[in-house]
Structure 1
């Protein structure tokens, strides 16, 4: 199974797109994540992500993310949490490293996929 992050943006207007993806694919929705980190100035910022089950045909598990543009205690975070809770789930909060410490964003996303697998939030590599 291919598990891949799809970056929607940095959490500004794209948080509303993520909300729509969750609501319109509620039968495929698995988990909502809030990744906590600090930007290069040491200020706390958040990423929100949603994991979906693979489509009926295909072997692709998408993980949509709004990366590192949401301040703590913002209205955008509240919207995301309310959306996840409306589906009977609780958002999963995790502390992660900032993506800027990785040489390439693909390494950052590979690291996050490994963390999600190790914590059994997504299935292991097949």
Structure 2
């Protein structure tokens, strides 16, 4: 699958939606991430991150690992702005060189290196 916001060899960031079929494609990449609590206006993380994209049919899952924490997981369909992060509905904005995930009081910006 070609990712419009990254080079063919790069990826961006995603819940866990149980997928009946095994993933048909998996891509890993190093990126730069910024996690913000938008309600408080505070940056919780800013720095390098590892992003893994899995594709199964029309479903895409991004796993975004920042530092030593558990990865953030996002799932949805490419081209749709409505994604999921756990039980939270997530707004996904696909950008030319990255993407933004917004849910609750948080925003995660991911940019290709």
Structure number with higher helix proportion? 1
Pick the TM interval, shorter chain: 0.3 to 0.5
Q: TM-score, normalised by structure 2?
A: 0.36
Q: Which has the higher strand share?
A: 2
Q: Which has the larger radius of gyration?
A: 1
